[in-house]
Amino acid sequence: MQDLETSVLDKINKWLSGSYDNDTKNEIQRLLDSNNTAELTDAFYRDLEFGTGGLRGTMGAGSNRINKYTIGATTQGLSNYLKKAYPNQKISVAISYDSRNNSSYFARITAEVFSANGIYVYYFNELRPTPELSFAMRHLGCQSGVMITASHNPKEYNGYKAYGPDGGQFVAPEDEKVLAEVAKIINIDEVNFAAKEENIELIGEEIDELYLEKIVRMSLSREAIKRQKDLKIVYSPIHGTGITLVPAALERFGFSNIFLVDEQIKPDGNFPTVVYPNPEEKEALILALKKASEIDADLVLATDPDADRVGIAIKNNAGEFILLNGNQTGSLLINYMLTAWEKAGKLTGKEYIVKTIVTSYIIDEIAKSKNVTCYNTLTGFKYIGEIMTELEGKNTFIVGGEESYGYLVGELVRDKDAIISSAFIAEMTAFYKDQGSSLYNALLDMYVTYGLYKEKLVSITKKGQRGAEEIKSMMEKFRTKPPESLGGSRVSTLKDYAKRKETDLLTKNFKAIELPKSDVLQFITEDGSMISARPSGTEPKIKFYCSVKGHLNNREAYQQVEKELEDKISRIMNDLNP
């Protein structure tokens, strides 16, 4: 095909002539016969790489697709890394998977390749949430783990999250070492698919039980829950793994009035009731909100397919259900946790929380007021887990989170955890209701105390090779010619995390950024607005995180001030003109 680049055509021919199965070869040949240049190019123009969320892509034949061979090659590379990292040791891994199409098949392939390489595998006998995998790894003393999931992506996607010995996703320099080993596998014949069943052990209910027991022990407001046990909670797993543990966790915390969204209970990789199985999207919560209105619920919870992220809806003072964004939920949860620890006399000055650089800075103010250290990390929960591991045994982690609906309470795992978070969000709801308040009023009171912070995420999708090039060009433009003003205020500071340099644009002075390199830019204006730009590590998107703030004198002024800040964000995005 004349329209295909030589490098793409070479890869296609390699797959057609290599030791790939006939179904794979037939799929490629059909694309060739139909002259589908765009699809072939996207399938073969690169090899899938680890991003902030691991390996993720659409399913199908090709080096840039999720399939038996890209999964197998990655697992072989990870196996080779582990054998080099732990010479002459018994190596074990844990594997779980979500409800996506082919997840159990890809998980089985992963287990077989590990076992063929002499690595002992703890294999969940049925689908389980991502955070439980992290917990299982830590409990079983595994050197690594793999979760087969594409989180909240559309049904065409699947993915592969690789974990290190602390139960968190690999971070530098180990992630690069894993990638290097994967890159060395240039022929599929180097992948050992010959399973050794004696190296595979099924696990399941016993891990569930231990995990739930430890979660319940962390509860902070048991008396409030006893008084508010009839709190009406609507929960939807959105066809995912959350159904295995969220209802059980809520019940064990003491809640007896849990209503499940029947249409979304069954795990189903086609996600038949939603377009995107994403709790960030209102569309994904329509059925939950309908049930909540019918029963006059106090709280709506919905988790994504691998149950590491949770979205919530609450009633405002007019009795209408509103969705909270990730910054609002995270801020409320952190404010509650620090307040509860303070009330219990547990704050000693050695406690800390962690958030990402694109998550609301109201959290920094809350932590400061409680004399609790707040660490800011790059985007990706693996960086939060990294700090937790560094400080383990020295300081006490209370809670952490990121704006993309991922939170973690306590030190049981090293990844965002919607099971634990759902239980504590319900506890938080009971706590405020027991005081004669509500989550909505708690949100307003927090804004009155610390300032009204308003955040908005604007994502622009750019698919395929051309889209990737456009995103790269857009970032370079912002990097070399930053905007002079945004929303009527001068841009005073540019933070370039790729160059690890913070520049005062007014004085031209600069200082180093003490974080790893990352393709992120932040523009900070004189009036305190912050706009962050970064290419997504898991989707073909460039993301803009806008954060503005204002003063809120009282609850009654909320709607007016919030509208003013919304208008300001619109002016900023118009000025940015991405």
What are the catalytic residues?
151
Q: Give the other-Cβ count within 10 Å of 508's Cβ.
A: 7
Angle at 325 between CA 228 and CA 279, to 5 degrees: 85
186-215 burial, b for 16+ CB within 10 Å, e for fewer? eebeebbeebbeebbbebbeebbeebbeeb
For residue 489, what are the CA distances in angstroms to 318, 531, 568? 35, 12, 10
Q: Assess whether the previous peptide bond of 516 is cis (omega < 30° from 0).
A: no
CB 221, CB 340: distance < 8 Å? yes
For 403, which DSSP code? Answer: T
Nearest 5°: phi and psi at 198?
A: -65, -15
**In residues, how long is the chain?**
578
C-beta contacts of 70-74 below 8 A and 24+ residues apart: 71/106, 71/109, 71/110, 71/148, 71/160, 72/109, 72/113, 72/188, 72/191, 72/193, 73/182, 73/185, 73/188, 73/190, 73/191, 74/48, 74/160, 74/162, 74/182
- Amino acid at position 184, single letter: K
Phi-psi region of 119 (alpha: psi -120 to 50; beta: other; left: phi over 0): beta
Q: Which two tokens stand for residue 147?
A: 């979760």
Quote the distance between the C-alpha of residue 133 and its chain's center.
15
CB 442, CB 432: distance < 8 Å? yes
- Amino acid at position 548, single letter: V
SS3 15: helix
User: What span, in angstroms and rounded, lies between the C-alpha atoms of 380 and 376?
Assistant: 11
User: What span, in angstroms and rounded, lies between the C-alpha atoms of 368 and 159?
Assistant: 38
SS3 489: strand
User: What span, in angstroms and rounded, lies between the C-alpha atoms of 127 and 26?
Assistant: 30
What are the strands, taking DSSP E only, across 462-508? 485-486, 489-496, 501-504
Longest CA–CA span in the chain (Å) reads 72
Q: Which of 119, 87, 129, 137 is nearest to 199 (CA)?
A: 119
User: What span, in angstroms and rounded, lies between the C-alpha atoms of 207 and 153?
Assistant: 27
CB 405, CB 329: distance < 8 Å? yes
CB 428, CB 441: distance < 8 Å? no
User: What span, in angstroms and rounded, lies between the C-alpha atoms of 161 and 75?
Assistant: 11
Q: Which two tokens stand for residue 275?
A: 């377009």
DSSP state string for 440-462: HHHHHHHHHHH-EEEEEEEEEE-
User: What span, in angstroms and rounded, lies between the C-alpha atoms of 407 and 169?
Assistant: 15
